[in-house]
Amino acid sequence: MIKAGFIGAGKRAKSGHYPSVYNNPDVSIEAVSELDPEKISEVVDMYNIPNSYLNYSEMLENHDLDAVYLITDELHVTKIAIDCMNQGKHILIEKPPGSSPEDIKLLHDSAISNNVICMVGFQRRYAPVVQKAVQIVKEFGQPTLAISRYHKWLVSSSDFNKEPRSTMWSDVCHVVDLTRFMLGGKFLEINAYQDNHGAKRKVDYNSMIRFENDAVGIISANRSAGGRILRTELHGFGVSCYMEIPDRLEIIIQGKEPEKINGLDLVDDGNIFGNSAYDGTYQMHKNFTDCIKNKEIPITDIRDVISSFKLISILEGK
């Protein structure tokens, strides 16, 4: 049994991480640390957590934990994560993993020097529709093209104008990482555009990326769009997969009639784990604990994700 602690009990932690970990038979949640006593009380009661702390250092000192789920924002994650790794804890952190490339390099180096996992929560790699699409395309050879569209209306949002870095870094990173994961290989050539369109800061990011395996990635992420959509395509020679993540997958092979698949139909025990299994969060957490047990490195470990953020830094236009 993996003994785990949580740091953080905010909205994202409660909506996806706590239920996924609680429903994992390989994990025992031993303790939680959170600055807000009301939030602590809520998760302690809901998930029967025996120990709680306002100071994460006390939690680490008092419990011999195998893993720590560190669910906080990019401004505060780096120091806490390094403290955990320096004590030999495997960690799972949210994205973005830090507020700068320098933060990410520190996390990367700490994970390697301490020989621990530093997994980043890019759950869309694990979404059943994505995993199925990658599997199908691989049966026909190398992928040739990925197109990812991730649009939102954020210009009037007060949170958008308070972003510490950019929406590319904090939000669009989802589809940049996903595109790079689906195509594989290193990126070689990039054409990227960042536009304000009258807003106070950059709102629209559009790019074309050439990878070393001759695949092309096209990413369009406009924060001045009419509303939210997340649609992705993955193509190979004679095969095309169209995804609305996590809801639907449409597969077309060599001119035949499309096969349409509901995302929930790809989930085992979907009724038990709900949205956490539907969007890939539960599968991500299961991969984390499986890798701890088997002494392996997860597919979204910082050792790989650092390459996504090198690409993100370029697309950001910094």
pLDDT digits (tens, 9 = 90+) for 26-55: 999 999 999 999 999 999 999 999 999 999
Please answer whether residues 101 and 173 qualify as being in contact, where contact means their C-beta atoms are separated by less than 8 angstroms. Answer: no
φ, ψ for residue 96, nearest 5 deg: -75, 150
* Residue 260: per-residue pLDDT: 98
Rounded to whole angstroms, what are the CA distances from 192 to 95, 176, 187?
22, 12, 13
pLDDT tens readout for residues 66-124: 999 999 999 999 999 999 999 999 999 999 999 999 999 999 999 999 999 999 999 99
Q: Helices (DSSP H) in 115-216: which residue ranges?
A: 128-138, 158-161, 167, 173-183
Q: Report the alpha-carbon distance of residue 110 to residue 142 in Å, rounded.
A: 34
* Residue 275: per-residue pLDDT: 61
* Residue 199: per-residue pLDDT: 87
Q: Helices (DSSP H) in the chain: which residue ranges?
A: 11-12, 18-22, 37-47, 56-62, 77-86, 101-114, 128-138, 158-161, 167, 173-183, 270-273, 275-278, 281-294, 302-316
Amino acid identity for residue 236 in this structure:
G
φ, ψ for residue 213, nearest 5 deg: -90, 15
* Residue 70: per-residue pLDDT: 98
* Residue 294: per-residue pLDDT: 97
* Residue 238: per-residue pLDDT: 98
Per-residue pLDDT at 243 exceeds 70: yes
Tokens 């390989």, residue?
26
Residue closest to 245 by CA, chosen among 227, 224, 266, 215: 266
Per-residue pLDDT at 1 exceeds 80: yes
* 111: Cα within 13 Å, side-chain hemisphere: 27
pLDDT tens readout for residues 152-193: 998 888 777 777 789 999 999 999 999 999 999 899 999 999
> For residue 28, with 0-12 CB atoms within 10 Å meaning exposed, 13-18 middle and 19 or more buried, which class applies?
middle
pLDDT tens readout for residues 225-239: 999 999 999 999 999
Domains (ranges, CATH) in the chain? 2-123 (3.40.50.720), 124-269+302-316 (3.30.360.10)
* 273: Cα within 13 Å, side-chain hemisphere: 26
DSSP-based three-state secondary structure for 210: strand
Question: Whole-model pTM?
Answer: 0.94
pLDDT tens readout for residues 249-292: 999 999 999 999 999 889 875 554 556 667 899 999 999 999 99
